Amino acid sequence: MARLSTAQRQQFDDEGYLVVEDVLDPELDIGPVMAEYWQVLDGIARSLHADRAIPSTYGDLPFADRLIRVCEESGRNFPQHFDIALPQSGVVHDTPLHVGPAVFNLLTSPRLLDVVESVIGPEIYSNPVQHIRMKLPQRAVASGKYNGLVSKVPWHQDNGVVLPEADEASILTVWMPLGDATVENGCLQVIPRSHRAGIEPHCPTDKALSIPEKLLPVERSRPLPMRAGSVLLMTQRTVHSSLDNVTDDQIRLSFDLRYQPIGQPTGRPAFPGFVARSAAHPERVLRDPVAWARSWYETRNRLAEQENPTYNRWRADAAVCA
């Protein structure tokens, strides 16, 4: 079992983060996910080609080259088509999302859950605040509205983007690259020991919610290059951001996942989580990827018929945001 050692757990508690190498198998665990995403991209490319938005489907190119070419030539990005959760607002009946069985299998990987159990215990709930991020080279980022699923993400704490109901929950962030994450293609960076303070103000900007740098010891930040199959564990209050992708031909693919003890608030009650592991009540564990996908489709239909919840607790005109 992929349990954390005493030294690893101590580092996590002291520093607020921990990189665990080789938790997943890039071929067996990540390969099926990338095969699903190839099909998503193929559908996008075929649709654009049929609309004469791009001159070819570029089906002979590798995934990264193909996505860059499709985005650059169409002048559009498609992060929501690949994402594994709904957006915070603007949900309609056909809002795209991807909730395929390979993704579900990754979320419930026994080796991954072993690591999670080492931190939060054996009663594990999959928090619905989860995303894929496809950090593109600048030349492939569509101009206009910022989207953190394809662009640089500013300094923040994960507790800062959910409702206050989850402030005292023990939510564990599990960040994993689907390919090698490097300083050049935009790996994550953290501020060690930043989890020891409370929740910082997150000011609304044109680049999403972010903590003003004047409040942070950014000189202590540490970039965390990682290879595929490794995972980064962070507390819900660890301050982190991502670097820019300064390459011309690479995409930094990663999953942001979150897990917590069963019964605690998720901070996004409108979205569907599920029991991923339970020693006390194994019959409650969700094992059916079709049922998981259905829960998201049903949520999409419900939110499309009502006003979407608001998750930001700070105002742009607050003194700290000036």
Q: How far apart are CA 131 and CA 147, in angstroms?
A: 12
Q: What percent of the chain is predicted at pLDDT more than 90?
A: 84
Q: Count other Cβ atoms within 10 Å, centred on residue 35.
A: 12
Residue 40 carries which side chain, given as an amino acid letter? V
Instruction: Give the range among 1-15, 20-34, 197-211 with minimum mean pLDDT.
Output: 197-211
Task: Say what the pTM is.
Answer: 0.95
Query: Which region among 119-123, 303-307, 308-312 has the lowest average model confidence (pLDDT)?
Result: 308-312
Rounded distance, CA 159 to CA 156, Å?
A: 9
Q: Which pLDDT tens digit goes with each residue over 24-53?
A: 999 999 999 999 999 999 999 999 999 999
193: amino acid identity, one letter: R
The answer, yes or no, to whether residue 116 has pLDDT greater than 60, is yes
In this prediction, residue 146 carries a pLDDT of 67
Q: Which long-range contacts (CB under 8 A, 24 or more apart) does 59-64 make?
A: 63/34, 63/37, 63/38, 63/251, 64/179, 64/249, 64/250, 64/251
Residues of the chain with pLDDT > 70, as a percent, come to 99
DSSP helix/strand/coil, 237? coil
Q: What is the C-alpha separation between 200 and 203, in angstroms, rounded? A: 9
Does domain 6-31+79-306+313-321 fall into CATH 3.40.50.620? no
Residue 209 banded pLDDT, cuts 50, 70, 90: confident
Cβ atoms of residues 140 and 71 within 8 Å: yes
Domain map (residue ranges) of the chain? 6-31+79-306+313-321
**pLDDT tens readout for residues 53-101:** 999 999 999 999 999 999 999 999 999 999 999 998 999 999 999 999 9
The amino acid at residue 170 is S
Judge whether residue 103 has pLDDT over 70: yes
